[in-house]
Structures are given as C-alpha cells and as structure tokens.
C-alpha cells in the first residue's frame, strides 16, 4: 500500500510571529520555517505504518516555493521514501488557498495512485482546516478527520476521531483521506545519520503549470492585525462592588 503525505512549510512554532507593516500578512522573510506540526504527525503515522509492514511506500508532496525543499529533506530524514515538490511560485508571501492545493493534490493522487492520503488536519499558519476535506471531495473518497488513532483493516481504514463527548470510530473503505489530530502520535526526532542519507536522495520537481490547475486566489485579505493587548485588571474594594461590576459591566450575572 502506498501512502501519500502532503506537507506544508510554515513559520516555525517557536517564532514570535510579526505582522508586516502594511498589514498584508505576517513577516515571512528571514524567519525560521519548518514543517507544519500536524503534517509531521501525518508523516510519522505513515512511516510507522511502513515500519509495521502495512504500507510499502511513503511519498511526501509539498506545494510552494523552491525553499520547500528544506522541508522535504526533513521528510526524507524522517523516513519518507520519495518526495515531490510542486513548484507553484517564487514569492514566499504568496499563499495558495486550500481549494487550489486540493486540486493540485488530486492531480498528484491521479499520478501516484496511493491507497491512503494522510494529511495534517490544518496548518498552523492560516488554520484553515480545509485541504483534507476538499481533497476527499475532489477525489470522491471517504474522509476521516481529526484522527487520534489509525488502523488498517482489510481494504479499509479504521479512524478514531476526537469529537465532543468522546471518541468516534469510522470505518472507511480504501482509498481514503485521513487528517491527523495532535494526539495521534509523537513524531520522532530525526537521527543524524538519516539527515546525511537524506542529502543523497533526489527531490522530484513538478512545475505547477504542467498540472493544468487553476490556482488563482478566490479570497482577498482585507487586513492583518496583531491580537489586542491584554488590558490591565481592575481592583475592587468589596464583594458588593464585585457583584455589581459582574452584573452591570461584564453582564455575566
């Protein structure tokens, strides 16, 4: 069984994100970038399925600027067999919307014919939480989102999902799309010899134009602003005053 894992290069989660002065987005130049943490979990799950002998090949695909290759090298070091870069733009500030990503991935799925796509449930930059669902729709495949456990069972995948009030388990006929939640696994640390070996593997490059996908944006960003600064608290002198404030100002009583 072949597994396809789409990954996104995002601002590293340790970086303090700053808004660009013109409000068009966040600062992306000279900022440490790394693999979206949910995608790391997706890749880890795919590699574990391969190590268990359930999967035979793990292919990782990423869409964006040429610098995405750094992320794909990490994917190779984590255990991916092959990686594909869909070269979509040279502008690091150009975000490609989930719908376009889903269409591009559908083309890659047509070419690669995986039985399973495991994707992160969302990227930590835009928090769209849409690509996996759109991809499933585009392919006409079943989807299991927010997976906290994944098990392959005779032509099907059992996906345990974290839902309000507990866990729900779905049985999806393969091929299918699964998106990963935080508690699915703990991604491995990359071993140093694996980093060295990954250097020697090649990254396949596909030009977006060759796929014939309309990736034009449908959304317009109106503004990007910093979160409001927390206001200083107020000291009250009596319980009566507190109750009055809760009643009249906060409106919670």
Q: Does 196 bind another protein (CB under 8 A)?
A: yes
Residues near another protein (CB under 8 A), total: 14
Q: Nearer to another protein by C-beta: 218 or 230?
A: 230
Question: Considering the rule CB under 8 A, would residue 205 count as an interface residue with another protein?
Answer: no
34 scored as a contact of another protein (CB under 8 A): yes
Residue 130 touching another protein (CB under 8 A)? no
189 CB-near residues (< 8 Å, 6+ apart): none
Q: Given the structure tokens 């600027």, which residue do they identify? A: 65
Question: Where do runs of H (alpha helix) occur along the chain?
Answer: 37-51, 68-78, 98-112, 131-139, 192-199, 208-211, 239-245
Residue among 53 and 189 whose Cβ is closer to another protein: 189
For residue 134, state whether it binds another protein (rule: CB under 8 A): no
Selection from 196, 206, 223, 184 nearest residue 21 by Cα: 223
31 lies in the binding site for another protein (CB under 8 A): no
Site for another protein in 85-124 (CB under 8 A): none
The residue (of 199 and 247) whose beta carbon lies closer to another protein is 199
Minimum distance between the CB of residue 77 and another protein, rounded to whole angstroms?
Answer: 7
- The answer to whether residue 199 forms part of the interface with another protein (CB under 8 A) is yes
DSSP, collapsed to helix, strand or coil, labels residue 51 as helix
Q: 242: which DSSP letter? A: H
Return the number of the residue (205 or 241) whose C-beta is nearest another protein: 205
- Based on the shown chain and the rule CB under 8 A, indicate whether residue 77 belongs to the binding site for another protein: yes
Q: What is d(CA 14, CA 124) in angstroms, rounded to the nearest whole number?
A: 12
Based on CB atoms, which residue is closest to another protein, 60 or 77? 77
Q: Which of 5, 9, 4 is nearest to 28 (CA)?
A: 9
Collapsing DSSP to helix, strand or coil, 34 comes out as: strand
The piece of 101-109, 142-150, 192-200, 228-236 that touches another protein (CB under 8 A) is: 192-200
- The CB-of-86 to another protein minimum distance in angstroms stands at 20
Q: Which of 43, 34, 102, 27 is closest to 67 using CA atoms?
A: 34
Q: Does residue number 138 form part of the binding site for another protein (CB under 8 A)?
A: no
The residues facing 34 across adjacent strands are 10
* Pairing of β 33-35 and β 9-11: antiparallel
Spatial contact of 179 and 143, defined as CB atoms under 8 Å apart: yes
User: Which residues from 44-73 bind another protein, rule CB under 8 A?
Assistant: 70, 73
Decide: is 210 part of the binding site for another protein (CB under 8 A): no
Question: Would you tell me which residues interact with another protein (CB under 8 A)?
Answer: 34, 70, 73-74, 77, 189-196, 199
């Amino acid at each position: 069984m072949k597994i396809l894992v789409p990954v996104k290069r995002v601002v590293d989660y340790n970086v303090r994100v700053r808004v660009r002065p013109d409000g068009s987005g966040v600062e992306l130049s000279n900022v440490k970038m790394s693999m979206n943490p949910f995608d790391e979990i997706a890749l880890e799950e795919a590699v574990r399925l391969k190590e268990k002998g359930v999967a035979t090949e793990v292919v990782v695909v990423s869409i964006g600027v040429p610098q995405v290759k750094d992320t794909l090298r990490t994917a190779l070091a984590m255990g991916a067999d092959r990686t594909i870069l869909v070269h979509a733009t040279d502008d690091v500030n150009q975000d490609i919307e989930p719908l376009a990503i889903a269409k591009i991935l559908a083309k890659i799925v047509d070419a690669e014919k995986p039985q399973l796509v495991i994707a992160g449930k969302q990227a930590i930059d835009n928090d769209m939480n849409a690509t996996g669902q759109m991809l499933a729709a585009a392919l006409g495949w079943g989807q299991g989102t927010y997976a906290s456990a994944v098990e392959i069972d005779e032509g099907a995948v059992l996906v345990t999902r974290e839902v309000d009030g507990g866990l729900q388990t779905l049985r999806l006929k393969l091929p299918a799309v699964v998106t990963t939640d935080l508690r699915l696994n703990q991604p491995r640390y990359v071993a140093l010899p694996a980093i060295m070996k990954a250097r020697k593997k090649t990254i396949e490059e596909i030009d977006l134009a060759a796929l014939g996908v309309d990736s034009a944006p449908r959304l317009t960003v109106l503004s990007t602003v910093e979160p409001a600064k927390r206001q200083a608290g107020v000291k009250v002198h009596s319980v009566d005053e507190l109750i009055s404030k809760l009643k009249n100002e906060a409106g919670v009583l």
